[in-house]
Amino acid sequence: MTGLPPRKALNEDLPRLLKMTATERLPLCAIMIDIDHFKKFNDRWGHSIGDRVLGHVSSLIRNCARYRGEAYRYGGEEITVLLINFNTGEGLAAAERMVETVRSTPMSIPGNDPAIPVAARSRDGEPVRLEVRISAGVCSTRDVTGAELLVMADKALYEAKESGRDRAVGFTPGLNAEKRTSTISVRFQGKSPILDRNRLIIKAWFPIRLSGSSAAIADMEQIEAREIRFLESNVSEVIPEASPAGGLITLEIPGRVVSVENQGKYTFFEFDVREEVFEMIQTHRANWKSGGPY
């Protein structure tokens, strides 16, 4: 579908390239790329068009990387590019060219294409133009060890998403050290169609003490989400239920869904949040349990 080597090829090539570039004392650069708002293409136009969008972007990225390295399909709508003898700054310039190439090359589909939902087809058969954008994170072995290369490029990609998308961001030790993440467990009542490893904001409930009744609630080892919404839009889902026994404190928590599991009427998901947010949650829990300020 993409014309790119699969994740298996990346897993085979990366150790070989790391060994080769280390022997020759050359940097190896990784660019992690994600198609912005890819789920919206699937939701509005259908998965067939979504597949074409992925193929369109993959072709552009591979052409940009040609003669310099190789592009691989990392998974879902993510693409990884490996560039030999590129430091982070040079890789960032290459990634910015990729972002601009995708931005300036809209995808065109015949207006009467049967893959387009009937309601979205143009009556006069005029082509439908889809504007596609990507975000990219860049890192090289000049800055990190080989084992950290993809992880830190992915962290830089996270920064690109957080700072507005449609851009490339290079790994810098200071920036990324300040914005480490931790994973929390979240429960949401219902099977949410927007929980698909997206970057979301959840509105969570936390129990608070009532005089003489603090033992009415068990320790909260899981966060109970009552609302979830996309970071970049107003699309949301709300559970309109009464608060848990003992009252509530609400908190909006931004983060990224990393895994989802449906169990009966509940959805459980692991949620990556900023380290400082995680520490705040832990402090609140500790104070609530000990009777201290919260």
Written as tens digits, the pLDDT of the chain (294 aa) is: 778 999 999 999 999 999 999 999 999 999 999 999 888 887 777 888 888 999 999 999 999 998 889 999 998 889 999 999 999 999 999 999 999 999 999 988 876 777 666 666 666 767 778 899 999 999 999 999 888 899 899 889 988 988 888 999 999 876 544 456 677 777 777 765 555 545 566 666 554 444 444 333 334 456 777 777 665 455 566 665 544 544 455 667 777 777 777 777 777 777 777 776 777 666 666 665 555 544
The position carrying tokens 């962290």 is 155
Who contacts 138 (Cβ-Cβ below 8 Å, separation ≥6)?
29, 30, 31, 32, 88, 91, 92, 95, 153, 156, 168, 169, 170, 171
Task: Tell me if 63 is assigned to some domain.
Answer: yes
Given 127, 158, 177, the domain boundary residue is 177
Point out the domain boundary residue: 121, 155, 177. Answer: 177
**86 with 61, same domain?**
yes
Asked whether residue 63 falls in the same domain as residue 205, the answer is no
Active-site annotation holder among 24, 70, 77, 148: 77
Domain membership of residue 162 (yes or no) is yes
Residue 46 is predicted with a pLDDT of: 80
pLDDT at 293: 47
Please check whether residue 1 lies inside any domain of the structure. Answer: no
For residues 152 and 32, state if they share a domain.
Answer: yes
Same domain, yes or no, for 189 and 242?
Answer: yes
Q: Taking the C-alpha atoms of 36, 42, 48 and 54 in order, what is their torsion angle to the nearest 10 degrees? A: 10
Residues 121 and 264 in one domain: no
172, HSE (Cβ side, Cα atoms, 13 Å): 10
Quick one: which of 165, 141, 175, 163 has its CA closest to 22? 141
Let me know whether 82 and 69 are in one domain.
Answer: yes
Q: Of 129, 162, 177, which residue constitutes the final position of a domain?
A: 177
Domain of residue 246, residue span:
181-290
Q: How many domains does the chain have?
A: 2
Report CA-CA distances (Å) from 83 to 30, 95, 111.
6, 11, 38
How far is it, in rounded angstroms, from Cα 110 to Cα 199? Answer: 32
Could you identify the residue written with the tokens 């997206």?
A: 198
pLDDT given for residue 178 in this prediction: 47
Give the span between the Cα atoms of 76 and 34, in whole angstroms: 9
CA separation (Å) from 116 to 49, 81, 105? 7, 31, 20
Are 20 and 154 contained in the same domain? Answer: yes
pLDDT at 172: 84
Query: Do 203 and 226 have their domain in common?
Result: yes
CB contact set of 9 (below 8 Å; sequence gap of 6+): 72
Are 189 and 256 in a shared domain?
yes
| 38 shares its domain with 172 | yes
Cα-based angle 222, 228, 231 (whole degrees, multiple of 5): 120
CATH of the domain at 131: 3.30.70.270
Query: pTM for this one?
Result: 0.62
- Residue 246 lies inside a defined structural domain of this protein: yes
Residue 77 annotated in active site: yes
Same domain, 50 and 170: yes
